[in-house]
Amino acid sequence: MFRFGLRRFATAAEAASPYGIKVSKAQGSVNGFVGAIGNTPLIRLSRLSEETGCDIYGKAEFMNPGGSIKDRAALYVVKDAEEKGLIKPGGTIVEGTAGNTGIGLAHVCRSKGYKCVIYMPNTQSQGKIDLLRLLGAEVFPVPAVAFENPENYNHQAKRHAEKTENSVWTNQFDNVANRRAHIETTGPEIWAQLGGKLDGFTCATGTGGTLAGVTRYLKEVSDGRTECWLADPPGSVLFSYITSGGKLNERTGGSITEGIGQGRVTDNLKPEIKLINNALHISDEKSIAMVYRLLDEEGLYMGASSALNVVAAYELAQKLGPGKSVATILCDGAYRYADRLFSKKWLDSKGLYEAIPEHLRKYIVLE
């Protein structure tokens, strides 16, 4: 009687709850903040899929507990330092970052009992500094100077760790533990979620950890069949680097996107760059229009790098042809960027107001 009742419950739950949530797929409990990182849903973007005749998917990385894809890298660079014996309980993690990696690290450090020190260019908003401080990090805003200058925020972070006992500079750009996070988690999750039916993958790069790691895994598991493409914003050199077979390093203009675009091939990207099939250059006009489309058509409130990724997935789907499956990354939500992305004044100042389709301008609700 009891067993029969249980079985009936499981079947009903698997079928669907009254709200359409598959209760049987819910995971068990996890251990602390770090246990909640990863295993994000893969969202099929219905309108864009319909338009292309393909299945276009976005990996919902904004659902990580710190709010972005960078939670995975933050966890892995800290884990790597622990495994190598570089840090002991109560130690200090130091990083140079103006964005999501700092937020991920601040959370991971709190949950593991480490101190967190963040160096960033002093051109960053007070909001970002305040957020890191309220997450318990010690923040050093320093003059914004080029990487070649010894006073660049990354070099200052490195020196801070060198002179602090029981401290490590996690060096997200060239520490390949970052890429490992995506070889071991993001790539396998996407492949399993689609039961191996994946023809294309594309995303933009900041450190290159996500693109390099996911590409490495997908190329191996698909025997090279899954096409992996870089998506690049204006102002990054990687589009010209990849499309010229490594001969050119051209950088033109700048971009409104944050966290992506790169002036060099990082150590995270280097080992896998030959596996990348090709590259797409995505304009800010296309990215900003997609921010608004995702909101209007899918109910997804996404930052500009996620929107750029979705434009790239759409273009890759068109290239691969109907019936194919393409996945990309929804890196973070629009919450931290709303005062710009939805401001008429800001859009005008960037010459992007006209890029928003007329019927979507109703979402421009800020001055």
Residue nearest to ligand PLP (CB): 259
CA 349 to chain centre: 26
Q: Which of 81, 84, 98 is nearest to 161 (CA)?
A: 81
Q: Which of residues 338-357 bind ligand PLP (CB under 6 A)?
A: none
Query: Does 102 interact with ligand PLP (rule: CB under 6 A)?
Result: no
Query: Does 67 interact with ligand PLP (rule: CB under 6 A)?
Result: no
Query: Does 261 interact with ligand PLP (rule: CB under 6 A)?
Result: no
Query: Does 303 interact with ligand PLP (rule: CB under 6 A)?
Result: yes
Q: Which residues of 313-347 are buried (b: 16+ CB within 10 A; e: fewer)?
A: bbbbbeebeeebbbbbbbbbbbebbeebbbeeebb
In whole angstroms, how far apart are CA 124 and each of 83, 115, 129, 281, 313? Answer: 33, 22, 8, 26, 30
- Minimum CB distance to ligand PLP smaller for 124 or for 305: 305
Q: Which of residues 283-302 bind ligand PLP (CB under 6 A)?
A: none
Segments in the chain forming alpha helices (H): 2-15, 32-35, 46-52, 70-83, 100-112, 126-134, 153-162, 177-181, 187-193, 209-221, 238-243, 284-293, 304-320, 338-341, 344-349
Q: Which of 59, 70, 112, 128 is catalytic?
A: 70
Whether 70 is catalytic: yes
In whole angstroms, how far apart are CA 44 and each of 47, 105, 158, 229? Answer: 9, 29, 41, 19
- Minimum CB distance to ligand PLP smaller for 101 or for 255: 101
Query: Does 187 interact with ligand PLP (rule: CB under 6 A)?
Result: no
Select the span of 95-103, 135-143, 239-247, 289-297 touching ligand PLP (CB under 6 A): 95-103
Query: Does 305 interact with ligand PLP (rule: CB under 6 A)?
Result: yes
- Minimum CB distance to ligand PLP smaller for 66 or for 200: 66
Query: Does 70 interact with ligand PLP (rule: CB under 6 A)?
Result: yes
Beta pairing partners, 278: 229
Among 40, 52, 101, 226, binds ligand PLP (CB under 6 A): 101
Select the span of 98-106, 238-246, 272-280, 355-363 touching ligand PLP (CB under 6 A): 98-106
Handedness of CA 329, 331, 335, 340 (dihedral sign): negative
Q: Which of 133, 304, 336 is nearest to 206 (CA)?
A: 304
Q: Which of residues 197-236 bind ligand PLP (CB under 6 A)?
A: 204-210
- Minimum CB distance to ligand PLP smaller for 172 or for 325: 172
The residues that touch ligand PLP, with contacts defined as CB under 6 A, are 68-70, 99-101, 204-210, 258-260, 303, 305, 331-332
Positions marked catalytic: 70
